[in-house]
Structure 1
């Protein structure tokens, strides 16, 4: 097991459990640290807290008293907890460092790290890089915001193993020395403004991915995204662009027919099975990152001729009576949903709605031309109904949840239709995660 060799703190508060907090507490305990845990869920219904208490962790649950900071040298915060949280704000006031679990992963990993972030496409790109490396015979591990806690993976990998990690802006806000060998910045789109407050703050959080990189590292970035280009200007790492519009002699690019890395043709577009024009950006980013870490062209081709997508990201579920069902539950913002809609030429019945973060949905209107019906749910239902009227969609239904949405959509569908769950919203008003929401959709589809 790898250890925390550069972690000078002895008394640590883990604020918020879930998967990342629980993993951080266990790792700290294994490294001989004094661990205190504070979680809002009461102990009697908090299995993680009970297990940690049995291991000797001091557990405080049900509220966030400021006394949890007494004697604490550093706070490891669950990424979703905002900085306005009273304990976090008080820690900052007391000059106590506040980090996220990903910082531990960076210290534990003894081999190279490929870190991938962006507003959209992170999961697909992370999975592609991992598959390309594995197909090339490289030792690679996948982790992070994609589902497996990065520090749990990092503690057990060897120096010749590559850690491929998906990173959110929430995680990246809480780093000190975390430094990928290859960082990837896919795109920047207005998102999570309830948390970050401004686009600049959000963009700067994303830019943290390359803030500790040096001239010996690489930053793979989207040459077609002006904000990304602006952010990367100050990066110290070697810049490797990707573009669907421009020739990138030093990066990955697409001429409308053939995909290239540098000036080497990789494959013809027609051989790629992953649907959606937007996925070409993800593909190019993955080719660049994987190639920099040793992936071979034939392995890249092998992956791209077989890879059909990841769960909850425009995932094909089934075809029933010539209706095609797609699960895009990971579409938690307008850009993700607009890109999903661009993937289809057939008539679409769109299932959308979820947590209201204060934004409107007017940006969806240009992408609703082939949407014949909208089925809405969650806190944003009324806002989406308003947008449907503006877009001239005559058939709109409001339902209680995703399961009911599936039944309503199927009942009014016709042969050739696509029934697409692409919510354009986070899931937390009704579901614990986008995965839970997507799994409900998949189960409901298979029950039809």
Structure 2
């Protein structure tokens, strides 16, 4: 009899896991207590996967052999507690993907900050070197779906602590931990220790054939690294000393040393600016070297990597409020992804030329994360109609400067102001770049 795999959550990771599970002969059923976005329903129908939305059929779920839980569902969820109590094994999407990856290698990147940049740069290094590689995980494309539909020899995966919470066998050949700062403590019983343990799970199944790349200048990492029985080869990166294996920066020069290979490069040649990005670049350079990529190719990649302007681009923090420019989000789906990645209370700047937008797929995320909407367009009626029942404050503004000032006024310390318009820009702006640049200029004037 086919193994019964129940999937909780109908987002990117849940639907990807459902597709892979179905392909591998499991009896798959997907359940989402909220609304499943149209594009995901379409995929579920296309692959003939049974699903429900707006409810959980408890009896059916508790009859599972295994449950794949979306990383967004916390342990304190009542249904999750019942599944645990019954002793049903819960796995994460990366665990399922790992099970069927074949001989492919995995680079897994986790950390509180810098993981998206580091992941994107490692992927860029691998692409520059001509490797058969895919970019997967927390970055927006399901690892399981990639394994099912377009398997590669190498996967570069951005991994959140929530995804690591439900691994069993998952083992990256190369693990990168960028740093650890207090984050998501609401999901870890407000114990920083639990979050730290979660991050270090990335190395728990590694063997002496694997590599662990970590920041030796990160106090939390260094305070706790001794508690874990790490079997893999340690490759630290630092700006304070000169390890003979790993990476360091001294006098504006980055050195990466792995096995017998050494590579030097001036930090002035990095396209990514800022000290935090020097750390990210060291981590990525070491990973490239571990994968056996020639130093010329790594140098090339580091010099040609573009941090993605207008795509979740961090602008600055003003009096404790972060400003993020996601002007490239010209449709609801892009804004949905942007909101999904938000971890702080959000003031959302929306609007522009509405191309017949259906905002309903955003509704659940807006309810959960958005405290106010600043509408920026010549006609904001549709935004009011869509969100007036769910968002306490909706303000109209007529240009980028007004929008930034209104959002800043509504924000408290610890909030984030996100420009992610979900609309085209040609009412008040020439194009999305112009919109993003005007937003950034207005933020800099605050």
- The answer to whether TM tops 0.5 is yes
Is it true that 1:299 corresponds to 2:291 in the alignment?
no
Is it true that 1:239 corresponds to 2:234 in the alignment?
yes
Q: Give unpaired runs (5+ residues) of structure 1.
A: 1-7, 317-324, 335-351, 356-376, 382-398, 413-420, 428-433
Q: Deviation at 1:208? A: 1.1
Aligned-partner Cα distance in 2 for 1:77–1:162: 25
Corresponding residue for residue 416 of structure 1: none
Aligned-partner Cα distance in 2 for 1:402–1:120: 33
Q: Deviation at 1:407? A: 3.4
Residues 82-97 of structure 1 aligned to structure 2 (within 5 Å): 82-97=74-89
Corresponding residue for residue 327 of structure 1: 325
Q: 2:154 aligns with which of 140, 147, 162?
A: 162
SS in structure 2 of the partner of residue 155 of structure 1: helix
Corresponding residue for residue 62 of structure 1: 54
Corresponding residue for residue 248 of structure 2: 253
SS in structure 1 of the partner of residue 176 of structure 2: strand
Is it true that 1:445 corresponds to 2:435 in the alignment?
yes
Corresponding residue for residue 74 of structure 1: 66
Q: Deviation at 1:403? A: 7.9
Aligned-partner Cα distance in 1 for 2:26–2:157: 25
Corresponding residue for residue 275 of structure 2: 277
Task: Give the conservation status (yes or no) of the 8 Å contact 1:133–1:294.
Answer: no
Is it true that 1:208 corresponds to 2:201 in the alignment?
yes
Corresponding residue for residue 128 of structure 1: 121
Task: Give the conservation status (yes or no) of the 8 Å contact 2:267–2:278.
Answer: no
Task: Give the conservation status (yes or no) of the 8 Å contact 1:21–1:77.
Answer: yes
Relative to the length of structure 2, the TM-score reads 0.71
Aligned-partner Cα distance in 2 for 1:137–1:47: 31
Q: Give unpaired runs (5+ residues) of structure 2.
A: 316-322, 327-337, 349-368, 374-392, 426-431, 439-446
Question: Given the superposition, is the C-alpha separation of residues 155 and 379 from structure 1 closer, same or farther in structure 2, using an over 3 Å criterion?
Answer: same
Aligned-partner Cα distance in 2 for 1:447–1:129: 27
Is it true that 1:267 corresponds to 2:265 in the alignment?
yes
Aligned-partner Cα distance in 2 for 1:132–1:139: 12
SS in structure 2 of the partner of residue 239 of structure 1: strand
Task: Give the conservation status (yes or no) of the 8 Å contact 1:130–1:140.
Answer: yes
Is it true that 1:182 corresponds to 2:174 in the alignment?
yes
Question: Given the superposition, is the C-alpha separation of residues 326 and 191 from structure 1 closer, same or farther in structure 2, using an over 3 Å criterion?
Answer: closer
Task: Give the conservation status (yes or no) of the 8 Å contact 1:118–1:206.
Answer: yes
Aligned-partner Cα distance in 2 for 1:96–1:165: 27
Aligned-partner Cα distance in 2 for 1:70–1:252: 48
Relative to the length of structure 1, the TM-score reads 0.71
Q: Deviation at 1:40? A: 1.6
Corresponding residue for residue 223 of structure 1: 216
Q: Give a deviation string over 1:55-75, Cα, whole Å, max 9, x none.
A: 543323212342132421111
Task: Give the conservation status (yes or no) of the 8 Å contact 2:8–2:68.
Answer: yes
Task: Give the conservation status (yes or no) of the 8 Å contact 1:244–1:280.
Answer: no
Task: Give the conservation status (yes or no) of the 8 Å contact 1:105–1:151.
Answer: yes
Corresponding residue for residue 173 of structure 1: 165
Q: Deviation at 1:289? A: 0.9
Question: Given the superposition, is the C-alpha separation of residues 379 and 188 from structure 1 closer, same or farther in structure 2, using an over 3 Å criterion?
Answer: same
Aligned-partner Cα distance in 2 for 1:54–1:162: 27
Q: Deviation at 1:237? A: 0.8
Residues 366-381 of structure 1 aligned to structure 2 (within 5 Å): 378-379=370-371
